[in-house]
Amino acid sequence: MTDFTAAVKKKLKEHAAALIAKGKAIMKSGTALITQTKFPVDGSIRSWHAASEIIKQAGIFYHF
């Protein structure tokens, strides 16, 4: 099974979205500087559906 976590984090970093609430939690939250919205980022993203949804919530037009 493919892990999309690194690709999602790379794409968020390219578009200046910041991951906040780094800690021991499984879920982290991110904030998009474009739309000023907060969205959840899972610690292990295993499907392209979830990866695309996180990218869409960040306001980035990209799909896996």
The SS3 assignment for 60 reads coil
pTM flag (> 0.85) = no
Q: Does residue 62 lie within any of the structural domains?
A: no
Q: In what order do the strands lie in the sheet with 17-20?
A: 17-20, 27-32, 38-42
Domain span including residue 34 = 5-57
Consecutive sets of 10 residues in the chain, 64 residues long: mean pLDDT of each?
Answer: 84 79 61 73 87 86 80
Interhelix angle 48-57/5-14, rounded to 10 degrees, is 20
Please provide residue 34's backbone torsions phi and psi, each rounded to the nearest 5 degrees.
-70, -50
Is residue 30 included in any domain, yes or no?
A: yes
Strands of 1-64, DSSP E: 17-20, 27-32, 38-42
Residue 63 included in any domain: no
Asked if the structure places residue 64 within a domain, the reply is no
